[in-house]
Amino acid sequence: MKLIENLSKEKYEDFCMEHIENSHFLHSYVWGQFQQKERHVKAHYIGYEDDENRLIAVALLLERPLILGYTYFYSPRGFVIDYQNKELLKSFTIELKNFAKKYKALFIKIDPDIKLHPLDIDGNIIKDQPNNEKLVTYLKSLGYKHLGFNKNFENNQPRYTFRLSLKPTIEEITKNFHPTTRKIINKGNPYNLILIKNDINTIDDFFETMCQTADRENIVNHSYDYYKNYYKELHKENMSDLYVVKVDVDKLKKTYEEKINNIEKNINKMNDEKHKNNEKNNNKKQEFINQLTKAKKEYDVIKEVKEKELVLSAILTAKYGNKVWTLHGGNNSLLRELNANYFIYYEIIKDAKKEGYEIIDFFGTTGNPVKENPVYGIHLFKKRLGGEYLEFIGEFDLIINKPIYYLYKLLVPLKYKLYKIVYQYKRKKEKN
């Protein structure tokens, strides 16, 4: 067996596509190229051949420089390999360690796209079904340090997600939505929301929703140039789509005026003599009154909007192999009641199915789905789309240089804490 350090794009991609069930856009050749441009890392496309010169494993290793000539490698979503083949995994690990030593690497980080154990929709472990707990133990025996079973977004990639199968018909998929979601979808498009797909000129609108979401959720955002370059580089390889949903504000005002007028007519009907002192109709009248109060409150907000068109929701996808990911997405802080997020997700699901993809990954959720969790709302929204709740085996560091590795691990949290402080200061300054 031998390690190939610079596998050609054709051979690398052919092997990934032969293992399409485990395909991930983070494994792709294009992702490595994009990271080289945006993150100032070096992409290594590693191949591993058997004695008959047949590829049996590949890995994208992103080399990041550190001080004093040291480096570390990150293999996003792990290797493309049969993780159940212990001897193969062991020999590949040995070769990778030897490779990494040549670059003064402290460690190789992996976070395999492998399910830890099956969960029900509420996150309970389904017992007496196959799991990969033994794989975690075996990786640790090979020298991989497991970084724990984190519940939120502490690591490079989400450890939990929802994945929806696109193999059923669109009617069956919709039927499996939560009743609330299905009700919203079945209403169609009552507010005449405008969907714009793959128009590079809407990247500004996309970025605006991302900034609003970052401020609202207190999370760190990528730069404008990052998102623009991401879309340009991946879209030309048919690996990404840009979705933006807007609303015509004047038309929306008219829609609400008609809505308010119709509710008032219904209330007036309830005031007729034949409807008085009827408990059922009194209850119905109160429902209309509540609807009117809510509609007028929403209309007051709409009247204050100065723009002719308002961007409500936007998403950048990733596409690779048999999957689509809703990778980056944001929502306007205004007019959330128009349910633009449901509208945009449903359009992406329909498009992905039409294009022949088998799975859509909603890219990240929490493993602690309690109301007190700040991301509970996002979790609940994705849960209601009816996908499988997935927990991955987690993040591992294959340690090459122990003393300096542990020194590095002490300093990194301080670096990211400082980065977040600087980012939040810049955002506050930009807003002022």
Query: Looking at residue 283, what is its pLDDT?
Result: 82
**Structural fold of domain 2-150+392-431:** Aminopeptidase (3.40.630)
Q: Which residues of 272-306 are buried (b: 16+ CB within 10 A; e: fewer)?
A: eeeeeeeeebeebbeebeebbeebeebbeebeebe
Taking alpha carbons only, the member of 327, 322, 313, 396 closest to residue 353 is: 322
CB-CB neighbours of 28 under 10 Å: 24
Cα dist. 225→212, 246, 272, 351 in Å?
Answer: 17, 22, 61, 26
CA quadruple 203, 252, 384, 324: dihedral, nearest 10: -30
What confidence score (pLDDT) does residue 267 get?
85
> What is the residue whose two structure tokens read 């309970």?
124
| pLDDT of 421 | 63
Sequential DSSP letters for 3-31: EESS--HHHHHHHHHHTGGG--GGGSHHH
Predicted pLDDT at 292: 93
**What is the per-residue pLDDT for 428?**
66
Structure tokens at 310: 């308002």
DSSP element (H, E) containing 361:
strand 359-361
Q: What CATH number is given for 160-249+307-391 in this structure?
A: 3.40.630.30
DSSP state of 220: P
Low-confidence stretches of the chain (pLDDT < 50) are none
Looking at residue 40, its pLDDT comes to 87
Which letter, b or e, does each residue of 184-221 get, where b requires 16 or more Cβ atoms within 10 Å of its Cβ? bbeeeeebebbebeeeeebbebbbbbbbbbbeeeeeeb
| pLDDT value, residue 243 | 98
Total-model pTM: 0.91
Tokens 């309690």 belong to: 370
Residue 4: how many CB atoms within 10 A of its CB? 16
